[in-house]
Amino acid sequence: MLFVLISVMFWVFLLIGRYENSIQEHLKNALLLAVGRLPRTLLMWIVWGLPVAIVIFYPIWMVAFGWFFITIGVAVLLWMSWLVQRGAVA
């Protein structure tokens, strides 16, 4: 259930920023996108899950590269998310 919820959240913010609709319609459309664009959704899981996995399994990397993540790491993740999602909603 958590997998589905987070997958929907990957898409709902894109829809809210682009279209005017009710929240229920956005959530429904985000669920349809998460299922219909499953390869892109899984790629989004990799993009956002890789830094989390690195911190959990290799915490010394956070010490060494923590400054990078604090300064521009989130921006890089958001940019990679945009690359994955662009063209999915026309």
Which pTM value belongs to this model? 0.80
Digit-coded pLDDT (tens) for 42-73? 999 999 999 889 889 988 888 888 888 888 88
Q: Give residue limits of the domains in the chain.
A: 2-85
| Cα of 12 vs its chain's centroid, Å | 10
Element housing 89 (H / E): none
Residue 90 binned pLDDT confidence (cut-offs 50, 70, 90): low
What stretches of the chain show up as alpha helix (H) in DSSP? 2-18, 23-36, 38-57, 59-68, 74-85
Cα→Cα distances 80→5, 23, 50, 59, Å: 20, 25, 12, 23
